[in-house]
Amino acid sequence: MDQRLKDLLALLELEQLEVNLFRGESRDIGAPQVFGGQVLGQALSAAAATVEARVVHSLHAYFLRRGDCNAPIVYQVDRSLDGHSFTNRRVVAIQHGEQIFNMTASFQVSEAGFDHQIAMPAVPPPESLPDPLEGPPAALLERLPERVRRFFEQPRPFEFRPVQGIDPQRTAPERQIWFRAVGALANEEMLHRRLLAYVSDFFLLDTATLPHGTSLLRPDLVMASIDHALWFHRPLRVDDWLLYAIESPSASGARGFARASVFARDGRLVASAAQEGLVRQRQRT
């Protein structure tokens, strides 16, 4: 297995301290705080460790405080419900004695029912698109703020193929991005859903900046996730190409909102996501 994937899988594996109590390590990916996808993935790992024979179908989370990349995170699980078909768990993430995150996740016994979905957008295949996060030109790296440059220089367990590119231009608030893990993974549904939770925090909030001619690449822009929701509709594999079709219906009050559909390459709608976050432009002096 690719070493970048090994490191990510190790990051999502937690140490059990006590019944319903787990501890996870933190990882610096070049952001000024712990990456939100890491906390999502680890919290889902903690919840799943207390559930048997059911798979997660939705999660709803709030990011309360910035996480410290240099300290572990403790996850406390509340077993809210063990019902006939559904199981519910609430997870609180604690660092330095304070809550930095909380999440509620719902798990379900597999069963059949009605089945319909929207169509996947018509986009170019991923093989025809470049990966802008795989070694940006040196001239571009030199112009980027240090925090952004460190983000690009970190080893990445996923590869991305944006359909529209990532240049900050005034465009419609929508984009499509192909992504997949950099290597093959075991055929374990819960593993792939944990990894989708991790990677779902990329690109969502950025989409809210597109109509304004700015982006995370700008040093005067402050962005941070406030809440995050994810629904799993059908079986999926993150080691095969998935299409992240994102749109931002609104930005106001220093907050941006984005929602997305995740399609498998064969057109199946496998998941949906939504996020609201802080989008604040610092006043220039």
172 in Cβ contact with 239 (< 8 Å): no
The 3-class secondary structure across 24-41, one letter per residue, is ECCCCCCCCCCCHHHHHH
Q: Which sign does the torsion angle of CA 65, 66, 71, 76 carry?
A: positive
Give the dihedral sign, CA 109/113/118/120: positive
Token representation of residue 277: 């976050």
Given 106, 176, 272, 275, which residue is catalytic? 275
Q: Which of 42, 106, 201, 261 is catalytic?
A: 201
- The reply to whether 201 belongs to the active site is yes
Please tell me whether residue 127 adopts helix, strand or coil conformation: helix
Q: Give me the catalytic one of 26, 95, 106, 225.
A: 225
| Tokens of residue 55, six digits | 């798979």
Is 43 in a helix, a strand, or coil? helix
165 conformational bin, left if phi > 0, alpha if psi -120 to 50, beta if neither: left
Q: Give the Å distances, CA to CA, from 248 to 112, 204, 222.
A: 32, 8, 17
Cα 244 to the chain's mean position, in Å? Answer: 11
- Active-site positions? 201, 225, 275
